Structure 1
């Protein structure tokens, strides 16, 4: 019970930080524009956990290239899957195995393992380990034939029983406590993530998909109004510990307290970091708006919080203005040093908002 008290005391502090974050975000000058850049940073960090070497700066610098590297495709797929999930949740669709399969299909398009049954549960054994050899496995997930049963239980825990029934938890030993389907969403999402990774329903992409679901569940459970709670950055910093503690939740003697404590710590650091980032983004945006002349400059400037590397064609399309107007506006912003453009570029000129990029590339 001491462990339970420790978790709930920590939970109260972190929950308060997340509430502050959501309130700030609702009233932020750059609310909708910042989501895209936050999602790109999350996409980079989540794919880095899987061993890729791509960086946020790489993605921003190469975002307009016609042909993308394999690792860049994985990052963009992650962001696309996250956006589709956000749209589904906003439209009232809950997280279900059906949605998970849809997101997996998006996640794996043209990526490594793309031939591994996109959007379909695996039909063969799989294992988790430092190599691709079965004998090096540190964990062997459930048999392929049991995946649907396990996910049905997982989905019931996620969304609760459709008719108000309770999950059967069996006999609870003296001195122990249970985090049932009515527990606080932050603890619940930590459990859901660990369980999903243990089931490992797909041949590839399970980790990335499991981390997408963290952000989506925080929206579904109304902890946040937008998918901005991304913990991959903090998990990636302690990747080996992250994998180790996930593995400890498995087997006949699972150590759930260690995992939940680790997840809450990561969530707490991320909540505070996002609170600071949002304050700084608003300060930059307000100072920049004061230098803008007229509505068009202001709209295009704020757009660079969504696209910190932007072109005139892109600005024209999203602001619904003529390409010539977009180019003239971007040049005016560059002259005011709100944006930077390379003087040597004559065609397909890119404009960078390095003030925004500085918030993320740390």
Structure 2
């Protein structure tokens, strides 16, 4: 395979491969739609949404080799001097929210938005802080060392980034453009700018990674764009379409599939099949987690005597390692009421606390963490 070579969109695959993809896609679209519906109807939606944002941020950041866990992020919430690992996760979370908000208010997925999200992603983190929000102006490469001779893939030259990104922007937003490649459609099936949202997300993600427009942060930003495409195409709400956990589970294959689409003979079929399958597993995982969370919440509510205890119990689903101070502030309770309620939940076996701690005692919803982690 050539180390270089990225064609402009759209793409074409053999007709027999398209048939296989559409058969698989029908099943996965049903799963994703069902999962989205169940999530939107769940009485726990508003409590767990932030944790789904956090999980996506952690898994996507970990794909890049950042050593951070879900437990770390929950346990160390609110620290005044976070480590660089936590900063990267928090930046991702903020960029994800920023992008989702922009798309939901009608903004297109544009170069301007992409640069703004990159600036957020790179703020105060390791890497090329000075280039946050700016396309690279030098040649970069992907490989195991800092020698271009060892490169697995060499992206397009810096002076071509603008035209390739323009082509990608038109594709993502479903707008026909003169930059689109022309195919003889008798030779295969074209996935153009009007293709199914899941396929569009798969194609877009690879194309963005292949263009590699920034010096750092391309992988993370490319996975944020997957979620934004899902919102723009009205496929699902953001918390339902977070696929990074599934990609991280098969990280080596994920990277291999990305590389397989590059070069003179791109294997789009294998990548799209891999991506659709990952989306199906994501939907299955979401449904399983959602059912377990609802069951845990309902069983806990039965053990609560007072309305304040019920409210505190549900609050711990958004803040699983909490304190009386945070409960009092967020639920507008008197500090004594918060402490009393947390103690009741601990006595009922719903939360765990270290009874020997005198100050800043934490109350942990371990059952929830076991479901989500």
Using the size of structure 1 for normalisation, the TM-score is: 0.94
Matched, 1:277 2:289: yes
1:252 is displaced (CA, Å) by: 2.4
Match among 240, 250, 262 for residue 274 of structure 2: 262
Match among 339, 352, 355 for residue 327 of structure 1: 339
Matched, 1:23 2:55: no
1:293 is displaced (CA, Å) by: 3.1
Query: Whole-Å Cα distance in 1 between the matches of residues 253 and 320 of structure 2?
Result: 33
Question: Are 1:102 and 1:119, in contact at CA under 8 Å, matched by a contact in 2?
Answer: yes
Compared CA separation, residues 142 and 323, structure 1 to 2 (3 A): farther
In structure 1, what is the equivalent of residue 63 of structure 2?
49
Compared CA separation, residues 318 and 93, structure 1 to 2 (3 A): farther
1:173 is displaced (CA, Å) by: 5.8
Matched, 1:109 2:128: no
In structure 1, what is the equivalent of residue 103 of structure 2?
89
In structure 2, what is the equivalent of residue 299 of structure 1?
311
Query: Whole-Å Cα distance in 1 between the matches of residues 136 and 337 of structure 2?
Result: 51
In structure 1, what is the equivalent of residue 5 of structure 2?
none
Query: Whole-Å Cα distance in 2 between the matches of residues 308 and 116 of structure 1?
Result: 36
Compared CA separation, residues 165 and 69, structure 1 to 2 (3 A): closer
Question: Are 1:39 and 1:228, in contact at CA under 8 Å, matched by a contact in 2?
Answer: no
Compared CA separation, residues 20 and 221, structure 1 to 2 (3 A): same
Q: How does 1:104-183 map to 2 (within 5 A)?
A: 104-161=118-175, 168-172=180-184, 174-183=186-195
Aligned to 2:129, the other structure's residue is in SS state coil
Deviation per residue, 1:13-65 (Å, 9 max, x gap): 11001111111111112102211111212211111111122221222222243
1:6 is displaced (CA, Å) by: 0.7
Question: Are 2:242 and 2:282, in contact at CA under 8 Å, matched by a contact in 1?
Answer: yes
Aligned to 1:80, the other structure's residue is in SS state helix
Match among 253, 256, 267 for residue 244 of structure 1: 256
Aligned length: 359
Query: Whole-Å Cα distance in 2 between the matches of residues 7 and 328 of structure 1?
Result: 56
Matched, 1:344 2:359: no
Match among 217, 225, 230 for residue 213 of structure 1: 225
Query: Whole-Å Cα distance in 2 between the matches of residues 92 and 312 of structure 1?
Result: 40
Query: Whole-Å Cα distance in 1 between the matches of residues 211 and 334 of structure 2?
Result: 51
Q: What is the root-mean-square deviation in Å for CA atoms of aligned residues?
A: 1.8
1:341 is displaced (CA, Å) by: 1.3
Matched, 1:11 2:25: yes
Query: Whole-Å Cα distance in 2 between the matches of residues 293 and 103 of structure 1?
Result: 46
Query: Whole-Å Cα distance in 2 between the matches of residues 114 and 345 of structure 1?
Result: 42
1:177 is displaced (CA, Å) by: 0.7
Query: Whole-Å Cα distance in 1 between the matches of residues 221 and 76 of structure 2?
Result: 24
Matched, 1:286 2:298: yes
1:321 is displaced (CA, Å) by: 2.9
Give the gaps of 5 or more residues in structure 1.
Answer: none
Query: Whole-Å Cα distance in 2 between the matches of residues 64 and 346 of structure 1?
Result: 20
User: 82-91 or 178-187: which moved more?
Assistant: 82-91
1:174 is displaced (CA, Å) by: 3.5
In structure 1, what is the equivalent of residue 206 of structure 2?
194
Query: Whole-Å Cα distance in 1 between the matches of residues 369 and 352 of structure 2?
Result: 12
1:329 is displaced (CA, Å) by: 2.3
Query: Whole-Å Cα distance in 1 between the matches of residues 328 and 104 of structure 2?
Result: 27
Question: Are 2:167 and 2:180, in contact at CA under 8 Å, matched by a contact in 1?
Answer: no
Compared CA separation, residues 170 and 53, structure 1 to 2 (3 A): same
Question: Relative contact order, CA 8 A, sep 6+: which one is greater?
Answer: 2
User: 152-161 or 247-256: which moved more?
Assistant: 247-256
User: 332-341 or 57-66: which moved more?
Assistant: 57-66
Compared CA separation, residues 114 and 312, structure 1 to 2 (3 A): farther
Query: Whole-Å Cα distance in 2 between the matches of residues 165 and 136 of structure 1?
Result: 36
Compared CA separation, residues 84 and 293, structure 1 to 2 (3 A): farther
